[in-house]
């Protein structure tokens, strides 16, 4: 990790207890003086660069189509936008990175909640093909050391987001250990694991080497936890937005003179060819892609990209930001929810579709609720899943299996009633103590039980040890002008105000909550409304870039595709991003 904003306890102590005090420019009172109330100003120079991250200096660019739209989707109309500076992983997340994650999850949760490990497992069966022999990849690709530096695949959008959250906590935990505030506390079990938000809320106290930093508040304790104001801990890792990913892939920082972009790039490198023009490497492929039908890697003795499937994450040449494989190797998940006309609707500053505004849960006295000590589930999602499962196995399930499914439906209905009464904790207790235990204790003739247990794990929303959040409520935003509802995924494109045809309006009149229900991307069919669906909905997530099995067209950063957030493939991976706070260029500089 590069040195940045972090500092030693000794330096902080010297600052806090030095004889000379800096004064407030508006009140004249001393900072860092307990006699004046103890308001602190700590030294800060620059945001620290987290592991594997590269600073992507932001700016304006034309987002969208630069190549012929031979798919005729018309979903990437060119538009000028501005992207703020941010950090992005230098490489895709590799199999070995994911194995590190799996090891931690199993070590911490396997005793009480082994289903959390099941949720984190990649789907290795994505390699199977009905008319191809890919079983070696099913068995070896994830875990064999020969593939450890290859990008992880079989990861859905939800799993990638979970990884980002886990990584945020592990990096910040390491920083606190490095600064002498925490020990190497490896006995973390269940909810007793480090979470950044819980630490800020004083709800994590395990593994402390010392009680905390000196607290100069004369009315408080002698020590305190690190706070956001100290600038020691890093912002959260997350998936990049679509605009950020496209901007970073183009790497226009190396293609401009002053404010003039002298040549608009087609690919992440200059020029319109896919082979290296440099005399030392002339003719070598610049990315891992499928050159043509039946040609994944070229001719023996002179393999054109030296990769039949994926390649190691540090392969080929980086772009002008120093990012590897922004074209080819694997396509990559981004944060955005897919809509065909997003480029017309989104802001031109930091564009993004997918906001669901959340807030920390509080009690009636305004105090934060205790962090989760059990997993929390997407109970409406479980209900829809059970409905679909019963419809699929109605004619093939045996009597024991049907009885199990009926009992699970009953548990889920009870949990949904508790959710309606805002008894979220009690609702999740029913799922854990009734449904999960019923599946585990089912008769051996219930062949569906292993599948049910695995599928239930995919509906886990929060792991034990995390702080409690909920969606913001309309009544909390009565005087607010910038938003009212929490869920803004379908704003202007799928919400009830944007519906046009008569059928949709009739459905709205019948719905109980027109602000929450979207029918624009649902189609009429048999069965309950939950069975109506289309490929474009609020769970369709954008992915960018070409993969090892794509043609060169998809290596153009402006192209875009989408997939349901619960699905995964053998050509889709991801890399993480992080917000840049403060100066966009570093060290408070200007240009």
Q: Can you give 185-251 as a three-state secondary structure string?
A: CCCCECCECCCHHHHHCCCCCCCECCCCEECCCCCCCCEECCCHHHCCCCCCEECCCHHHHHHHHHC
Residues 288 and 329 in one domain: yes
The three-class DSSP label of residue 487 is strand
Please tell me whether residues 244 and 147 are part of one structural domain: yes
Same domain, 259 and 382: no
Mean pLDDT check: name the lowest of 28-37, 337-346, 535-544, 547-556.
28-37
- C-beta of residue 37 within 8 angstroms of C-beta of residue 218: yes
* 115 membership: H or E segment, kind and range: helix 115-120
Buried b (16+ CB within 10 A) or exposed e, 533-545: eeebbbbbbbbbb
Can you give the pLDDT at residue 500? Answer: 56
Residues 380 and 414 in one domain: yes
pLDDT for residue 417? 95
In a domain, residue 359? The reply is: no
Model confidence at 11, pLDDT cuts 50, 70, 90, reads: very low
In-domain check, residue 119: yes
**For range 539-556, the mean pLDDT:** 95
- CA 575, 581, 587, 591 torsion: positive or negative? positive
Query: In which band, very low, low, confident or very high, does the pLDDT at 498 lie, cut at 50, 70 and 90?
Result: confident
Are 153 and 259 in the same domain? yes
Q: Is the pLDDT of residue 525 over 70?
A: no
Residue 516: what pLDDT? 46
Q: Which tokens hold the place of 165?
A: 């959250």
Q: Are 393 and 448 in contact (CB under 8 A)?
A: yes
Task: Tell whether 312 and 349 lie within a shared domain.
Answer: yes
pLDDT at position 80 over 80: yes
Let me know whether 397 and 348 are in one domain. no
For residues 574-591, give the mean pLDDT: 82
Q: Is residue 204 part of a domain?
A: no
Q: Kindly indicate the confidence band of residue 504, based on its pLDDT and cuts at 50, 70 and 90.
A: low
Q: Are strands 237-238 and 540-544 parallel, antiparallel or unpaired?
A: unpaired
Sign of CA dihedral 451, 432, 160, 306: negative
Average pLDDT over residues 33-55: 90
**Residues facing residue 86 across a β-bridge:** 56, 579
Residue at 213 is within a domain? no
The answer to whether residue 227 scores a pLDDT higher than 80 is: yes
Please tell me whether residues 409 and 264 are part of one structural domain. no
Does residue 367 lie in a domain region? Answer: no
Pairing of β 331-337 and β 572-573: parallel
Q: Are residues 138 and 254 in the same domain?
A: yes
Interval 162-213: pLDDT, tens: 999 999 999 999 999 999 888 888 889 999 999 999 999 999 988 776 667 8
| Residue indicated by tokens 């309006």 | 505
Grade residue 265 by pLDDT with cuts at 50, 70 and 90. confident
Q: How far apart are CA 309 and CA 287, in angstroms?
A: 12
- Coil, strand or helix at 35: helix
**Given a cut of 60, is residue 237 above it in pLDDT?**
yes
* CATH number for 128: 3.90.1580.10
Residue-wise pLDDT tens digits, 357-370: 999 999 999 999 99
Length of the chain: 591
Total domains in the chain come to 3
Q: What is the arithmetic mean of pLDDT over 547-551?
A: 96
| More reliable by pLDDT, 218 or 453 | 453
Does the pLDDT value for residue 586 go beyond 50?
A: yes
SS3 at position 303: strand
Residues 96 and 131 in one domain: yes
Q: Which domain holds residue 402?
A: 376-462
Residues 418-441 have a mean pLDDT of 93
- Among 217, 205, 171, residue whose Cα is nearest residue 47: 171
Residue 190 domain-assigned?
Answer: no
pLDDT at 321: 95
pLDDT, the chain, mean: 88
Question: Which residues have C-beta within 8 Å of that of residue 230, sequence separation ≥ 6?
Answer: 42, 213
Q: What is the mean pLDDT of residues 376-386?
A: 94
The answer to whether residues 305 and 173 belong to one domain is yes
Tell me, yes or no, whether 583 lies in a domain.
yes
Cα(373)–Cα(113) distance, rounded to whole angstroms?
11
Whether residues 545 and 523 fall in one domain: no
Residue 7 has pLDDT above 50, yes or no: no
Give the pLDDT band (50/70/90) at residue 409. very high
Residue 41 lies in a domain: no
């Amino acid at each position: 990790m590069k040195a940045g904003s972090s500092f030693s306890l000794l330096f902080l102590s010297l600052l806090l207890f030095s004889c000379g005090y800096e004064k407030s420019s508006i009140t004249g009172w001393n900072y860092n003086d307990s006699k004046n109330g103890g308001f602190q100003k700590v030294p800060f120079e620059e945001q620290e660069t987290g592991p594997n991250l590269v600073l992507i200096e932001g700016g304006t660019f034309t987002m969208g189509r630069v190549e012929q739209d031979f798919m005729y989707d018309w979903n990437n109309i060119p538009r000028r936008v501005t992207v703020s500076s941010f950090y992005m992983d230098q490489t895709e997340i590799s199999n070995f990175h994911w194995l590190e994650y799996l090891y931690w999850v199993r070590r911490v949760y396997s005793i009480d909640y082994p289903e959390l490990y099941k949720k984190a497992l990649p789907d290795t069966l994505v390699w199977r093909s009905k008319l191809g022999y890919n079983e070696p990849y099913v068995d070896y690709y994830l875990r064999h050391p020969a593939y450890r530096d290859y990008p992880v695949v079989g990861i859905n959008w939800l799993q990638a987001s979970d990884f980002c959250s886990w990584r945020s906590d592990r990096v910040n935990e390491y920083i606190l250990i490095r600064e002498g505030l925490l020990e190497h506390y490896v006995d973390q079990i269940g909810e007793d694991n480090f979470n950044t938000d819980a630490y800020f809320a004083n709800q994590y106290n395990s593994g402390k080497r010392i009680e905390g930093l000196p607290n100069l508040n004369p009315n408080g304790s002698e020590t305190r936890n690190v706070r956001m104001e100290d600038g020691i801990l890093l912002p959260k890792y997350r998936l990049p937005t679509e605009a950020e990913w496209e901007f970073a892939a183009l790497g226009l920082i190396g293609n401009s003179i002053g404010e003039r972009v002298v040549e608009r790039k087609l690919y992440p490198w200059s020029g319109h060819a896919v082979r290296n023009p440099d005399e030392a490497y002339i003719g070598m492929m610049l990315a891992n892609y499928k050159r043509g039908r039946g040609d994944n890697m070229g001719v023996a003795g002179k393999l054109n990209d030296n990769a039949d499937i994926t390649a190691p994450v540090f392969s080929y040449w980086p772009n002008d930001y120093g990012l590897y494989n922004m074209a080819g190797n694997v396509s990559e998940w981004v944060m955005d929810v897919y809509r065909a006309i997003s480029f017309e609707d989104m802001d031109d500053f930091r564009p993004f579709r997918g906001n669901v505004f959340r807030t920390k849960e509080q009690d009636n006295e305004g105090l934060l609720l205790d962090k989760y000590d059990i997993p929390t589930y997407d109970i409406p999602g479980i209900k829809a899943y059970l409905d679909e499962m019963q419809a699929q196995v109605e004619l093939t399930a045996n009597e024991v299996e049907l009885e199990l499914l009926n009992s699970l439906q009953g548990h889920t209905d009870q949990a949904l009633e508790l959710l309606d009464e805002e008894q979220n904790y009690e609702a999740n207790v029913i799922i854990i103590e009734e449904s999960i235990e019923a599946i585990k204790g089912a008769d051996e003739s219930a062949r569906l039980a292993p599948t049910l247990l695995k599928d239930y794990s995919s509906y886990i929303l929060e792991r034990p040890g995390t702080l409690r959040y909920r969606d913001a409520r309309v009544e909390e935003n009565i005087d607010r002008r910038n938003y009212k509802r929490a869920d803004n995924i379908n704003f202007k494109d799928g919400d009830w105000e944007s519906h046009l045809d008569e059928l949709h309006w009739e459905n709205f009149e019948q719905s109980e909550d027109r602000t929450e229900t979207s029918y624009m991307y649902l189609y009429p069919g048999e069965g309950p409304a939950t069975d109506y669906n289309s490929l474009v909905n609020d769970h369709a997530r954008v992915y960018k870039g070409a993969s090892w099995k794509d043609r060169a067209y998809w290596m153009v950063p402006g192209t875009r595709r989408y997939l349901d957030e619960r699905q995964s493939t053998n050509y889709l991976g991801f890399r993480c991003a992080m917000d840049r706070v403060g100066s966009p260029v570093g060290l408070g500089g200007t240009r």
